[in-house]
């Protein structure tokens, strides 16, 4: 039988009897403290697992940052190349724009030249066929009036109420023919010439015919000589207000 009188006796007995030591521990310590070593081991294991995952996360983050840096470098390089491309594109566009402008101007000049050729062809043809204009209108041609003739005509006539620019336009009429009817009476024909006659041509012809009658006291007739007409003047032709002398089209055309 073990006799315990002192603390040392107790400690000595507990050392020799582990079951006693365990029983005393259960009596003295709480359940939490008893299980603390096992829980600590679990904590350490979880902490080590967490650290391992953290290391993996850090490694992936570093890899991501590296790839991001590479992406940024490539993006900056792309931006530089894009700017260079844009500058080259702008230069190219400027060159193309300049070329197109020069081309458009050349085409406009060509169209203008051909238009001038057409108008010249129409005037030359009408001048050559001036007698024919009078004959088809039932009159006998006498002569064609010059600029000086028209100038002298309105200088000696009453021009009150007529604007200066209209008198200037009258003197520069495309063609004025003096003719006679079967009874020998004097008539005048005011002809406006154009490749394609329009309302401006008919208006000038009618106006000039009116001035001829006013300045001379003789009948005057309005006519247009053209290869083709704007459809807006067909009513004037049909009504007989303006006579149409059709010219032959023998000149090359510039297709639109």
Q: List all residues 6 or more positions away from 250 whose beta carbon is below 8 Å from its beta carbon.
A: 121
Domain of residue 207: give its range: 129-246
Q: Is residue 122 one of the residues assigned to a domain?
A: no
Check whether residue 142 and residue 233 sit in a common domain: yes
Q: For residue 132, list its beta bridge partners.
A: none
The closest of 202, 190, 196, 186 to 238, measured between CA atoms, is 202
The closest of 180, 185, 234, 174 to 207, measured between CA atoms, is 174
Q: Which of 117, 151, 185 is the last residue of a domain?
A: 117
**pLDDT score recorded for residue 33:** 62
Check whether residue 85 and residue 176 sit in a common domain: no
Check whether residue 67 and residue 174 sit in a common domain: no
Least confident of 25-39, 129-143, 177-191: 25-39
Check whether residue 83 and residue 139 sit in a common domain: no
Report residue 186's pLDDT band, with 50, 70 and 90 as the boundaries: very high
Count of CB atoms situated within 10 Å of the CB of 155: 11
Write the CATH number for 180: 3.40.1350
**pLDDT score recorded for residue 255:** 43
Q: Is residue 111 one of the residues assigned to a domain?
A: yes
Residues 86, 223: Cα–Cα separation, whole Å: 60
Check whether residue 155 and residue 217 sit in a common domain: yes
**pLDDT score recorded for residue 35:** 67
Packing angle of the helix pair 147-155, 199-216 (nearest 10 deg) = 50
Report residue 109's pLDDT band, with 50, 70 and 90 as the boundaries: low
Q: Which of 117, 139, 155 is the last residue of a domain?
A: 117
Q: What is the pLDDT of residues 193-223, one digit of tens each?
A: 888 899 999 999 999 999 999 999 999 999 9
Residues 140, 189: Cα–Cα separation, whole Å: 11
pTM of the model: 0.55
Check whether residue 22 and residue 95 sit in a common domain: yes
Residues 73, 77: Cα–Cα separation, whole Å: 6
Has residue 104 got a pLDDT over 80?
A: no
**Residue 66 per-residue DSSP state:** H
Q: Is residue 136 one of the residues assigned to a domain?
A: yes
Q: Which comes out higher in pLDDT, residue 16 or 109?
A: 16
The tally of domains found in the chain comes to 2
Q: Is residue 123 one of the residues assigned to a domain?
A: no
Check whether residue 71 and residue 160 sit in a common domain: no
Has residue 20 got a pLDDT over 80?
A: no
Residues 180, 201: Cα–Cα separation, whole Å: 24
**pLDDT score recorded for residue 199:** 94
């Amino acid at each position: 039988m073990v006799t315990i009188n002192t603390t040392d006796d107790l400690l000595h007995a507990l050392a020799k009897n582990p079951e006693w030591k365990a029983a005393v521990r259960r009596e003295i310590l709480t359940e939490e403290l008893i299980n603390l070593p096992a829980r600590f081991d679990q904590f350490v294991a979880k902490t080590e697992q967490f650290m391992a995952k953290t290391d993996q996360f850090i490694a992936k983050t570093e890899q991501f940052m590296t790839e991001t840096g590479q992406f940024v470098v490539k993006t900056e390089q792309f931006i530089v190349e894009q700017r260079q491309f844009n500058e080259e594109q702008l230069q190219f566009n400027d060159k193309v724009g300049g070329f197109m402008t020069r081309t458009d101007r050349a085409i406009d000049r060509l169209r203008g030249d051909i238009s001038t050729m057409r108008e010249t062809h129409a005037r030359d043809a009408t001048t050559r066929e001036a007698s024919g204009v009078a004959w088809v209108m039932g009159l006998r041609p006498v002569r064609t009036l010059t600029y000086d003739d028209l100038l002298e005509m309105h200088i000696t006539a009453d021009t009150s109420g007529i604007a200066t620019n209209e008198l200037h336009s009258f003197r520069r009429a495309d063609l004025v023919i003096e003719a006679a009817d079967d009874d020998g009476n004097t008539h005048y024909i005011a002809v406006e010439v154009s490749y394609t006659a329009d309302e401006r041509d008919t208006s000038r012809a009618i106006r000039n015919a009116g001035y001829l009658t006013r300045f001379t006291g003789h009948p005057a007739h309005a006519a247009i000589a053209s290869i083709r007409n704007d459809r807006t003047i067909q009513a004037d032709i049909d009504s007989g207000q303006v006579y149409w002398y059709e010219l032959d089209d023998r000149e090359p055309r510039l297709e639109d």
